[in-house]
Structure 1
């Protein structure tokens, strides 16, 4: 694996596990088994530039996965349930949800720069766009689809944060069960 990709992969996992503030450059350097010079060669502006690269990588990974799941189901409701069930399975088998969320990173948003906030906003916008497109295809107006997409994003991301905080998949299980009893097309 190329050094830059290695740094991004390891730093992404560390940021997800410990948050942006909880991870120091020395820890990233040690885990990557590289020199400080190598890190700064790839990320001359340091930790924040690395975080933005990690968010970009996560954005691609997460949205490709969501797009794939949503293309496999006829309704947004069925796709959302399948996606939540996948996250639950990941949590129950691995004990974490790293690689599928950036919620643990962005929980510290108040202390981050506009560039980082913009990277996070772009990912949330992409996710909401996937949800909204599916809902529009089901006949819901664009305005209503955008509103429901925001609700879905907030609910799922909040459920992920609760899972990580409570160390149980129960919050996502409850969300999945409630979604099965609810119609997104009302």
Structure 2
């Protein structure tokens, strides 16, 4: 793995665990075993540029994962069930959903930085677009598909936050029982 990829991977994990403000540059440098000059070589504008790059990396990973799940299943209901089940299994196995949620970063930074807010908005838009397109294929009107995609995004993201705060997979399990029936 090259240095830039290493920095992105480690910083993404640290930002998800500790938040943007709770993650210092010195912590990133130490975890990556690099110098300050090396970090600024790859991210000349510093920590916020690194955060945006981490969000873009998360966007690619999460979007790819969701697309693959939705392509493997014939209906939105089946795909949603499979995706939520995967989140539950990962949470119960690892005790976190670090690779799947970035809500802590949104809540911490969205009002402080338009570039960060835009990077987060792009990820949510990508997720909603996947749901929307599958719902249209399932026969929903575009208006209904848009509203349902928004509800899916909000429900699943909210369920992940509740799992993290309650240290339990029960919120996602509850959503997995009701959400697909609404489709």
Q: Same fold (TM over 0.5)?
A: yes
Conserved in 1, the CA contact under 8 Å of 2:127 and 2:153?
A: yes
Q: Report how many aligned residue pairs link the two structures.
A: 183
User: How do 1:32-47 residues align onto structure 2 when only pairs under 5 Å count?
Assistant: 32-47=32-47
Structure 1 SS opposite 2:66:
helix
Root-mean-square deviation (CA, aligned residues, Å) is 1.0
Question: For the residues of structure 2 that align with 1:179 and 1:110, how far apart are their CA atoms?
Answer: 28
> Structure 1: 5+ residue runs without aligned partners?
none
Conserved in 1, the CA contact under 8 Å of 2:111 and 2:117?
A: no
User: How do 1:137-176 residues align onto structure 2 when only pairs under 5 Å count?
Assistant: 137-176=137-176
Conserved in 1, the CA contact under 8 Å of 2:128 and 2:150?
A: yes
Following superposition, the deviation at residue 110 of structure 1 comes to 4.4
Structure 2 SS opposite 1:108:
helix
Following superposition, the deviation at residue 183 of structure 1 comes to 3.1
Question: In the alignment, which residue of structure 1 is the partner of 2:4?
Answer: 4
Question: In the alignment, which residue of structure 1 is the partner of 2:119?
Answer: 119
Asked if 1:82 corresponds to 2:82, the answer is: yes
Conserved in 1, the CA contact under 8 Å of 2:132 and 2:146?
A: yes
Question: In the alignment, which residue of structure 1 is the partner of 2:129?
Answer: 129
Q: Deviations over 1:117-145 (max 9, x none)?
A: 11111110000000000000011111110
Question: For the residues of structure 2 that align with 1:130 and 1:20, how far apart are their CA atoms?
Answer: 28
Tell me the TM-score normalised to structure 1 length: 0.95
Structure 1 SS opposite 2:182:
coil
Conserved in 2, the CA contact under 8 Å of 1:25 and 1:47?
A: yes
Following superposition, the deviation at residue 111 of structure 1 comes to 4.3
Tell me the TM-score normalised to structure 2 length: 0.97
User: How do 1:43-62 residues align onto structure 2 when only pairs under 5 Å count?
Assistant: 43-62=43-62
Question: In the alignment, which residue of structure 1 is the partner of 2:182?
Answer: 183
Conserved in 2, the CA contact under 8 Å of 1:103 and 1:160?
A: no
